[in-house]
């Protein structure tokens, strides 16, 4: 099996950083291009850190050749400052990265979206995520994997008050998330990273969407 070249954006975030570490440890990965706005504090083995202005991403398309493109970009409206800035990160940058993947004939594109993503939603956050997913599926990329986690558990660099409270409570309520409610169960960032690392190395053409419970199953699979 040919070792894969990976391009990942969003590697400074909670899930992205964990995923970068896992990919760097994989014997099936040949090289990694980690695209960031600021230099990584620690550059893992076989990783090249490409620092760019995301608003000029297309100018670097020629440098971003890889078999698998992975996008872990994501913010909140509060952190971004307003809806326009949020849309720029969670829609514009994600779609631009996917278009570069298409342009460079990538085999696979993975993205971290969110539970509730719906292009027809009246909720701006959910609608933006849904519109992003819909746009990705229009591209000519053989395989697209969309991960829709519920509340993500883990230690973030940027503190989010509501999520801090929820993270303390959620694990104690896991017994409530059974049957049809399993997809709403909070999930650890380490498990999302594990699931994405595993499926990034597999090949199965088509479009796939994974809810929290399915992500958990992928992470736990032998």
Residues annotated catalytic, as ranges: 125, 129
Dihedral sign computed on CA atoms, order 192, 118, 132, 40: negative
User: What residues form DSSP beta bridges with 48?
Assistant: 33
In angstroms, the Cα distances linking 208 to 127, 136, 137, 179, 214 are 19, 12, 10, 21, 11
CA within 13 Å, CB half, 183? 10
In angstroms, the Cα distances linking 150 to 30, 38, 153 are 32, 28, 9
In angstroms, the Cα distances linking 79 to 12, 48, 82, 86 are 15, 28, 8, 8
3-class DSSP assignment, residue 155 = coil
With tokens 């992003």, the residue in question is 132
With tokens 């307003």, the residue in question is 82
The span from the CA of 215 to the CA of 196, in Å, is: 8
Is residue 131 within 8 Å of 90, Cβ to Cβ?
A: no
């Amino acid at each position: 099996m040919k070792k894969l070249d990976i391009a990942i954006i969003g590697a400074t975030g909670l899930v992205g950083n964990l995923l970068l570490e896992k990919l760097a440890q994989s014997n099936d990965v040949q090289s990694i291009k980690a695209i960031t706005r600021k230099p990584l504090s620690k550059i893992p083995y076989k990783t090249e850190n490409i620092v760019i202005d995301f608003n000029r991403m297309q100018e670097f398309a020629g440098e971003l050749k890889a078999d698998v493109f992975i996008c872990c970009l994501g913010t909140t409206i509060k952190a971004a400052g307003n809806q326009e800035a949020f849309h720029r990160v969670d829609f514009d940058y994600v779609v631009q990265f996917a278009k570069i993947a298409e342009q460079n004939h990538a085999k696979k594109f993975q993205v971290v979206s969110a539970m509730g993503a719906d292009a027809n939603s009246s909720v701006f956050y959910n609608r933006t995520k849904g519109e992003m997913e819909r746009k990705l599926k229009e591209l000519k990329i053989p395989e697209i994997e969309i991960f829709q986690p519920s509340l993500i558990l883990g230690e973030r660099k940027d503190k989010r008050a509501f999520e801090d409270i929820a993270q303390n409570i959620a694990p104690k309520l896991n017994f409530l998330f059974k049957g049809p409610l399993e997809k709403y169960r909070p999930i650890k960032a380490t498990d999302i990273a594990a699931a994405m690392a595993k499926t990034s190395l597999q090949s199965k053409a088509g479009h796939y969407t994974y809810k929290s419970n399915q992500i958990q199953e992928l992470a736990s699979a032998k």
